[in-house]
Copies of this chain bind each other. A is one copy, B any other.
């Protein structure tokens, strides 16, 4: 019995460590994708795109471990929430990886440098979203509800920056038709960044759910 309990707690800890590793991989992929937005090069994009397979494999492994643990160990209360939070966080993090890959694919073939002030806004949005992702992965690792709540609350800053980026790109596309193709790619890059921000918010809610069994509620500031 002693042995079984220990194995079970090891499995739970391992699951948490796997999610942290997945979070680190997702943040690394986003960092690499953001660098490609500035310094676009098809050659540099190839390894970023290829590395997404590692995230997919790890997310699948987390899912299998979590389901197996829930089915075989019948965790109750706190422990069940830990397993469910790991399962759901891994879905969000795997999607962040997909979105980073999509940014790399869109940014790499851009032929011209991105004009200011659009480039400035994309960089600002990218760095903000990356810092939110890193923060929430740390909050998950530490089970730190206050840190998660801070990520959750400042989602509105992402939405504001994203709206400014869309307006800036549209104005440029309207005035300069030859910018249309690049402009569209950058609109999708912006949308992907906004969606990574949403996944960070989801994970912040899971950190709170795991620790307290309640959600952060409906009161999140929205544009």
Contact flags (1/0) for A177-196 with B, using CB distance below 8 Å?
11011011001100100000
Measured between beta carbons, the chain B residues less than 8 angstroms from A80 are 67, 71
User: Would you give the shortest CB distance from A178 to chain B, in whole angstroms?
Assistant: 7
A173 to B170: give the CA distance in the assembly, Å: 11
Measured between beta carbons, the chain B residues less than 8 angstroms from A191 are 188
Measured between beta carbons, the chain B residues less than 8 angstroms from A166 are 184
Q: Does A221 contact B (CB under 8 A)?
A: no
Of the candidates B67, B84, B175, B187, which one forms a contact with A184 in the assembled complex, judged by CB atoms under 8 Å apart?
Answer: B187
What copy number does this chain have within its complex? 2
* Contact status B173-A177, CB under 8 Å: yes
Q: Does A74 contact B (CB under 8 A)?
A: yes
* Contact status A180-B174, CB under 8 Å: yes
Contact flags (1/0) for A158-182 with B, using CB distance below 8 Å?
0000000010001001110110110
Of the candidates B72, B76, B84, B175, which one forms a contact with A177 in the assembled complex, judged by CB atoms under 8 Å apart?
Answer: B175
Q: List A residues 46-103 near B (Cβ within 8 Å).
A: 67, 70-72, 74-76, 80, 84, 91
Measured between beta carbons, the chain B residues less than 8 angstroms from A173 are 173, 177, 180, 184
Measured between beta carbons, the chain B residues less than 8 angstroms from A70 are 67, 70-71
* Contact status A74-B72, CB under 8 Å: yes
* Contact status A170-B180, CB under 8 Å: yes
* Contact status B174-A174, CB under 8 Å: no
A75 to B68: give the CA distance in the assembly, Å: 10
A181 to B70: give the CA distance in the assembly, Å: 48
A84 to B191: give the CA distance in the assembly, Å: 30
Which chain B residue lies CB-closest to A81?
B67
Contacts beyond the supplied A74-B74, A166-B184, A188-B191: 17 A-B pairs with Cβ under 8 Å = A67-B70, A67-B80, A70-B71, A71-B71, A71-B74, A71-B75, A71-B76, A72-B74, A170-B181, A170-B184, A173-B177, A174-B178, A174-B180, A174-B181, A175-B177, A180-B180, A187-B187
